[in-house]
Amino acid sequence: MKLTLRVWRQRNPDSPGAMATYEVDGISQDMSFLEMLDTLNEELILGGDEPVAFDHDCREGICGACSLVINGDAHGPERTTTCQLHMRSFQDGDTIDVEPWRAAAFPVVKDLVVDRSAFDRVIQSGGYITAPTGAAPEAHATAVPKPVADTAFEHAECIGCGACVAACPNGSAMLFTAAKVVHLNSLPQGAPERESRVLEMVGQMDAEGFGGCTNTGACATACPKGIPLFSIAKMNREFVRAARKRG
Amino acid sequence: MALDTRTDRRPSFAGVLWRSTVGKKTAMAVSGIVMLLYLVAHMLGNLKIFFGALDFNGYAAWLRTIGEPFLHHEWFLWIVRVVLVVAVVTHAVAAYQLSRRDTAARPTAYSHRRRRASYATRTMRWGGVILGLFIVWHILDLTTLTVNPRAESGHPYENAVASFSTWYSATLYLVAMLALGLHIRHGFWSAAQTLGANRPGLDRPLKGLANGLAALLTLGFIAVPVSVLTGVVS
Ligand code: HEM
Ligand code: SF4
Ligand code: FES
């Protein structure tokens, strides 16, 4: 395949960036999107140019490091991570726009790499349980009904990639925060911090400069792990309940 | 770090809500629902215009007597007005503050643009502004009668007919009611989501109810000016 790429290039956080156009040839349909970018980078390096910086780690859809807005869609046209997106989703001769996640809370570090440590601080504020550490507990000590375990697991699937923020017209982190709140607040192990968790995490989310939710639903459409929009409704309920108990 | 052994003041429920994006949206949802309930009653009342001037004016006079003798004359109406002013102000202030925050949170647009939201969702802000301006016009027109062409106190039937006989008033009213329909189409379902009432089996019924309410209110409200314009009511 032969492709035209329009890629966001930005030297550092303070310099202005711009879209740069590149041609790549010899792309196989079986390559992943990141392998296609690797091919471009090899050519750039051989030509003495600076390679395009982009985030990636596991390349198997589980770490949440990869992060590209491809033709206006976070993680591209398929419902998966950028590393699991393959070039068969594109046509020979296509022009593809590649941009970084756009949000005030995710400043661009370089080219397509953004700083997502705001997510880490949201997790640090309450995305944990205070169980005593030590030997593994007896598995049947705390019974968890199957539907509850399923709900918790569905929400534990969030990989913290930030596609929800990138897709949201308000740069809101509600889906990410809701995934963690619902995951832990559903389980007996999360019960001791049930109120403080949601209050602290929403507080930190606001403090990081993420926008509010307008129930647009772009987040859930973009999420590679299928975290549903209902999670946000559930977190809203948890928040008001916690505020009432605290206030 | 020294920890307080005792904190004297717990944050108030309202304070916790208003300081967070989630809570502010809750305030919008509650004030929105209050306005929505009022609008349903208002729309049904307006339809009495089809029974003639005597009926309609009598209904308007009766509204002032609700709650008597427990309440003084017109007190019920004033209570409703105060509740509505609080709801409109809360709704508009929260909308303004959240909208400012939302635009600041996404300072750079994508160069590859995508239309993701439905028309009703995208027009909530401007539609809201249209509704706010309309509310001011509407009160000046039919409550205080400041801009009404007839302005005869105690004769709402005649005043309404006189107002809708002018092209500008009828146009304003029709545009505002279309904006209202769109606002409720997204707003009602959105409020259910904000208040945490939405869940898997309820999504479709809630969206259906939102569309039904939007259509009912828009059609019910525009029936009056349309009837005046077509001469059914005169
Ligand atoms: C003063 C004029 C008004 C303004 C400026 C305004 C503005 C807004 C805005 C900006 C939103 C948020 C949209 C979003 O989240 O995408 C909203 C939501 C809403 N509005 Fe209004 N609006 C006004 C009047 C009304 C009226 C008259 C009603 C009564 C039916 C209403 C009912 C609602 C409801 C139910 C919501 C949803 C709240 C939620 O999502 O939790 N609004 N409004
Ligand atoms: S909710 Fe989905 S889109 Fe958002 S960070 Fe988690 S996995 Fe990524
Ligand atoms: S690189 Fe790990 S999820 Fe894509």
Comparing CB atoms, the residue among B113, B196, B200 nearest residue A236 is: B196
The alpha-carbon gap from A213 to the nearest alpha carbon of chain B, in Å, equals 8
The string of pLDDT tens digits covering residues A183-209 is: 999 999 999 999 999 999 999 999 999
Task: Work out how many CB contacts closer than 8 A connect A with B.
Answer: 147
Is B229 a residue whose pLDDT tops 80?
A: yes
Tokens of A41: 């980078």
Task: Write the DSSP assignment of B81-114 as a string of letters.
Answer: HHHHHHHHHHHHHHHHHHHHHHHHH--S--SS--
- Calculate mean pLDDT across residues B180-197: 97
ipTM of the complex: 0.92
pTM assigned to the model? 0.93
Q: Is pLDDT larger for residue A242 or for residue B12? A: A242
The alpha-carbon gap from A211 to the nearest alpha carbon of chain B, in Å, equals 4
- CA dihedral angle for residue B185, residue B186, residue B190, residue B192, rounded to 10 degrees: 10
Q: B87: burial class by Cβ within 10 Å (0-12, 13-18, 19+)?
A: buried
Residue B145: C-alpha distances to residues A62, B112, B155 (Å): 65, 50, 11
Give residues with Cβ within 8 angstroms of B3, minimum separation 6.
none
Q: Which ligand is nearest to the CA of A65?
A: 3
Pocket of ligand 2 (CB under 6 A): A 158-164, 175-176, 179, 222-225, 227
Tokens of B100: 């400012």
Least confident range from A2-6, A85-89, A126-130, B218-222: namely A126-130
Instruction: Go through chain B and tell me how many residues it has.
Output: 234
The class level of CATH for A117-246 reads mainly alpha
Per CATH, the number for A3-110 is: 3.10.20.30
- CA dihedral angle for residue B198, residue B188, residue B207, residue B178, rounded to 10 degrees: -170
Show me where the domains of chain A are located. 3-110, 117-246
Alpha-carbon gap, residue B73 to B128, rounded angstroms: 33
Alpha-carbon gap, residue A237 to A229, rounded angstroms: 13
Is B77 a residue whose pLDDT tops 70?
A: yes
